[in-house]
């Protein structure tokens, strides 16, 4: 059980159940015990009255003037009974009628009081008070009994009623406890929602106005996020500076290769130009690959229609002389859980390649379901089937000198691989030019840009 709410709920709920069960037992036991004491006092009083009223003669015979005892002992099966055993005879209350009290006199000691339960006349549950006394030198055993069937019935009804009330109170307390726990843990739920919003790039840090128990965790998360952002920013700046710093040496090397002195050394010149070009490609490729580490930064997510609009306008401006028709098909106001900068670079490469080699038309189609599917087609010369197989086989090792659509495909491949997607290349059935389709799985799907969190 990993849920804090579940642990607190189960722990407190179990504690309340045990507490209520214990108090129910204590209350019912106490009432039962007090009632037994009341019966005992009454029976003791009746037994003492019988002790005083019984007459013992020298022969050991006992008698009892019934006028001296209460009427309840004279009504048949009244629930009040007594039995007096003497050395010679036994006296029973008239309320016993033809029944008897099944008591044991053999193990009784003089002066000691005995309380026990027996089955009386008509199977009535009886509480019996027994005592052995010595009167005029003769041992007498007196038993007074009281029917407790009404008490047992009332006690059972009380226990059921009290259990119902206790259970109702317990449920109310558990409900209050659950609400209290949820309200107490609400800051954690809010922090969780804020983390989702942070991952989507909607906020830059968590709200630090949290309870003292949660605030250190929130502050530490904010500190780590800021530290990560700063490191990524420094890395990107350093890579940018490195790219600019390498441009000058590469330019010098390229100019050196074109100097008059090397014209006669065609082989050396060709080697220098080839190697400088290869170095430029490697630098560009590795710098762009390194920036993919920025996907973990809490940057903005990708809004298809909003973010692509400026790029499409820029491409139309760049390739204005070609008078290209750009057929753009994509859903409106859909935000995907993909890093905006990565998607702009990936789709920018695809569209730029398509526009560069297209004759009259470029078609861009995006579909969103459990994955983002992007299809880019053009009416250019395309790539031969054999070349496509070679490109697919070589994967990320494609270099920018590849004929046709090799330019930028290494970056596209790296990005697709980074997002665990797929890439397919072929010939467009409609436009007869090059066609490339990428599929990027979406862990959280997409949502409307207008949807609240």
Instruction: Read off the pLDDT of residues 322-361 as tens digits, 9 standing for 90 and up.
Output: 888 889 888 877 788 787 778 888 888 888 888 888 889 9
Would the pLDDT of 376 be above 90? Answer: yes
pTM, entire model: 0.50
* Sheet arrangement for strand 113-119: 90-92, 80-85, 138-147, 125-135, 113-119
Rounded average pLDDT over 49-75:
86
First vs last C-alpha separation in the chain? 28
Which CATH number describes the domain made up of 301-448? 3.30.565.10
Would the pLDDT of 396 be above 50? Answer: no
Confidence of residue 375 (pLDDT cuts 50, 70, 90): very high
Name residues whose C-beta falls within 8 Å of residue 167's C-beta, 6 or more positions apart in sequence: 20
pLDDT in tens, 4-55: 778 888 888 889 899 999 999 999 999 888 888 888 899 889 888 888 889 8
Looking at residue 22, what is its pLDDT?
93
Rounded average pLDDT over 139-160:
89
Q: To 5 degrees, how large is the angle CA 389–CA 391–CA 397?
A: 145
- Lowest mean pLDDT, pick from 69-83, 261-275, 385-399, 432-446: 385-399
Phi and psi for 74 in degrees, rounded to 5? -110, -15
Residue labelled with tokens 């390229």: 254
Rounded average pLDDT over 204-220:
81
Structure-token pair, residue 16: 């309340």
Domain parsing of the chain, residue ranges: 4-153, 215-289, 301-448
C-alpha to C-alpha distance for 80 and 93, rounded to whole angstroms: 8
- Dihedral sign from CA coordinates of 41, 43, 44, 49: positive
């Amino acid at each position: 059980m990993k849920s804090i709410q579940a642990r607190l709920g189960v722990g407190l709920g179990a504690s309340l159940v045990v507490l209520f069960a214990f108090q129910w037992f204590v209350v019912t036991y106490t009432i039962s015990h007090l009632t037994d004491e009341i019966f005992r006092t009454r029976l003791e009083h009746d037994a003492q009255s019988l002790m005083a009223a019984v007459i013992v003669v020298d022969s050991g015979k006992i008698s009892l003037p019934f006028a001296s005892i209460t009427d309840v002992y004279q009504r048949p099966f009244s629930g009040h009974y007594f039995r007096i055993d003497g050395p010679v005879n036994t006296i029973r209350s008239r309320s016993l009628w033809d029944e008897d009290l099944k008591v044991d006199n053999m193990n009784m000691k003089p002066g000691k009081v005995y309380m026990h339960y027996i089955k009386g006349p008509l199977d009535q549950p009886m509480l019996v008070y027994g005592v052995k006394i010595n009167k005029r030198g003769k041992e007498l055993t007196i038993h007074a009994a009281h029917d407790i069937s009404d008490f047992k019935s009332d006690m059972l009804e009380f226990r059921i009623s009290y259990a119902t009330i206790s259970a109702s109170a317990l449920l109310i307390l558990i409900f209050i406890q659950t609400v209290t726990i949820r309200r107490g843990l609400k800051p954690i739920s809010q922090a969780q929602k804020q983390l989702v919003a942070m991952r989507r790039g909607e906020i830059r840090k968590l709200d630090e106005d949290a309870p003292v128990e949660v605030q250190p965790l929130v502050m530490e998360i904010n500190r780590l996020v800021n530290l990560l952002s700063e490191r990524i920013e420094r890395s990107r700046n350093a890579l940018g500076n490195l790219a600019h710093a390498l441009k000058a040496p590469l330019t010098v090397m390229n100019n050196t290769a074109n100097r008059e002195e090397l014209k006669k050394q065609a082989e050396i010149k060709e080697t220098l130009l080839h190697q400088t070009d290869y170095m430029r490609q490697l630098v560009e490729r590795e710098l762009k690959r390194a920036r993919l580490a920025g996907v973990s930064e809490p940057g903005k997510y990708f809004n298809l229609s909003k973010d692509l609009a400026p790029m499409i306008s820029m491409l139309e401006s760049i390739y204005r002389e070609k008078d290209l028709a750009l057929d753009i098909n994509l859903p409106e106001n859909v935000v995907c859980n993909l890093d905006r900068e990565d998607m702009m670079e990936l789709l920018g490469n695809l569209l730029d390649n398509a526009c560069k080699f297209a004759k009259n038309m470029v078609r861009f189609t995006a579909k969103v379901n459990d994955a983002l599917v992007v299809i880019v087609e053009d009416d250019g010369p395309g790539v031969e089937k054999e070349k496509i197989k070679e490109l697919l086989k070589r994967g990320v090792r494609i270099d920018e000198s590849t004929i046709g659509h090799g330019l930028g495909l290494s970056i596209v491949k790296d990005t697709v691989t980074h997002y665990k997607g797929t890439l397919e290349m072929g010939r467009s059935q409609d436009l007869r030019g090059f066609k490339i389709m990428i599929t990027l799985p979406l862990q959280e799907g997409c949502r409307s840009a207008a949807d609240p969190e």
